[in-house]
Structure 1
């Protein structure tokens, strides 16, 4: 699906130079990622008639929100307003990473 793999587990990406590998306590929130819907845009920006920079998709419910570089920061807002929805992955073509908003950790696909 447009370069974004649909189903895989996630793991914390090692931080270069760090002596300890941090753990994400939220990886079990999304044991089976939702099937990616067609990329339509940031759901909140579309309702408000505003624009976004990049899209992130909640790994729990599939909500598509704009990144922290966008004026609305709707992916962040979704993660903080909806309990248990701390994980989001990029929908940018050619990229394959996720972010844990609660633990502030960068995630990569495992395997």
Structure 2
């Protein structure tokens, strides 16, 4: 929002708790965060979505 760009979905880092935009968004902030910090796991911050993604394993896991 600070940069004035649109985001598609938000993801929350499970290591530090920061919430950033997803890879479908123009700036792909969460991917950059994970690469820069080695924080591998994020969850969806979207209502009704219950899954996590690991950048290292390139794997999505659904949970309840």
After TM superposition, the score normalised by the length of structure 1 is: 0.54
Q: Any runs of at least 4 consecutive aligned residues in structure 1 with deviations exceeding 4 A, and if so which? A: none
- Cα distance between partner residues in 1 of 2:14 and 2:63: 13
Cα-Cα RMSD: 1.3
After TM superposition, the score normalised by the length of structure 2 is: 0.89
Pairwise CA distance, 1:52: 0.2
Match of 2:11 in 1: 56
Gaps of 5+ in 2: none
Q: 2:28 aligns with which of 58, 69, 73?
A: 73
Structure with the larger RCO, 1 or 2 (CA within 8 Å, 6+ apart): 1
Gaps of 5+ in 1: 1-45
Structure with more of its chain in strand, by fraction: 2
Structure of larger gyration radius: 1
